[in-house]
A = this chain, B = another copy of it.
Amino acid sequence: MSNSIRNVEAKKLSLDGDLDLECGQTLSNIDIVYETYGDLNSEASNAILICHALSGNHHAAGTYDDEDRPGWWDSLIGPGKAIDTEKFFVVCPNNIGGCHGSTGPSSINKETNETYGPDFPIITVQDWVKCQSMISDSLGIKIWHAVVGGSLGGMQALEWSRLFPKRIKKAGIVAAAPKLSAQNIAFNEVARQAIINDPDFESGRYLEKNKSPKKGLGLARMIGHITYLSEEAMRSKFGRELKEDKLNFGFDAEFEIESYLRYQGDVFSESFDANTYLLMTKILDYFDPAEKFNGNLSMAFQEIEAQVMVISFSTDWRFSPDRSKEIVNALIEAKKNVSYLEIESPHGHDSFLFADKDYVNGLSSFLEN
């Protein structure tokens, strides 16, 4: 892209302290891979933390020296973009549990010298946010100007505003929900079973056996993809178009949508770790800040001091506008500073990745004013 940052480089840091997890276990020797864009000002007051979603990573924007494909949120992060790197110092870490360099299931456990694999503890959004606060300390950032994320990333931004109210000025919560619905959990469970049932999963110890449950992981990704796209987007993109002119009366992919999904599944299964995928779906399922407050979401929001913007998209059926409004209404009930933007967009849940004009303007004015 013409206005993408060039020659981005991933950085690495090792956290000093241990991280006590919600599950009761402790994680030590944590490595974090991250990227930064723009410059930190002398007061360290212009830093924005980007939180990635299920299959995301630290490569949020720009291009590497040796690769043309820009980061996953390059449409929104860069010079003059919604999250303007000429004004802000933008930080995006790969979360722990991930598979792109930060400590996760495919890392070596330095205490045992063996790959974590299925023994990697189940992480929660709260654990991630605590870990990100340790990253903030390492980088010398006491207060984030903003924490922003879409989908599972939005849940982290919300949790930041709850857990560290003094360390965050603005929270940008995009295409998120205050907790998963039974249907959301159901889709995650089918994805997990697809992975676990793959004989190459080997109870999660596939790396030791030089295997990879690619078919199961591909299937999980196909299921996910259906929920990311709106029915409308699928219709306009694929309709009932056939790859060839006529029906072949067999089980090879013949409708365009079939080829597309198989391709997406194949590509994903080559580059993503199955144990990480399992973990990410579980993190989503567990997220429910109201749970400790007898289901009362506004009570869960009592400590929030940040200015919050919630953004949803008209055709998102994974986390629909109604789900985002649950967050907004609970913030209003708790008398917090919240604004809400509902964007007309045809792209379903994936809309948060597209630089729609209203979305860009809304987010940039929220961050800059």
Contact = CB atoms under 8 A, between A and B. Distances in A.
B194 A240 contact: no
Nearest to A253: B189
B196 A197 contact: no
A261 B262 CA distance: 24
A235 B182 contact: yes
A231 interface: yes
A288 B199 contact: no
Nearest to A257: B182
Question: In terms of DSSP, what is the predominant structure of the interface of chain A?
Answer: helix
A179 B255 CA distance: 13
Interface string A173-211: 000000111110111011011101111000000000000
Given A247-B286, A251-B282, A189 B240 contact: no
A219 B194 contact: yes
Interface string A207-238: 00000000110110011011001010011011
Question: Which of the listed residues A122, A185, A237, A262 has the most CB atoms from chain B within 10 Å of its own CB?
Answer: A185
A196 B219 CA distance: 11
12 contacts: A179-B240, A183-B234, A186-B258, A189-B253, A189-B255, A189-B258, A190-B219, A193-B215, A197-B215, A199-B199, A251-B278, A251-B282
Given A189-B253, A194-B219, A197-B198, 12 more contacts: A22-B249, A122-B250, A182-B237, A183-B226, A183-B234, A186-B258, A189-B258, A189-B261, A190-B223, A193-B218, A196-B251, A251-B278
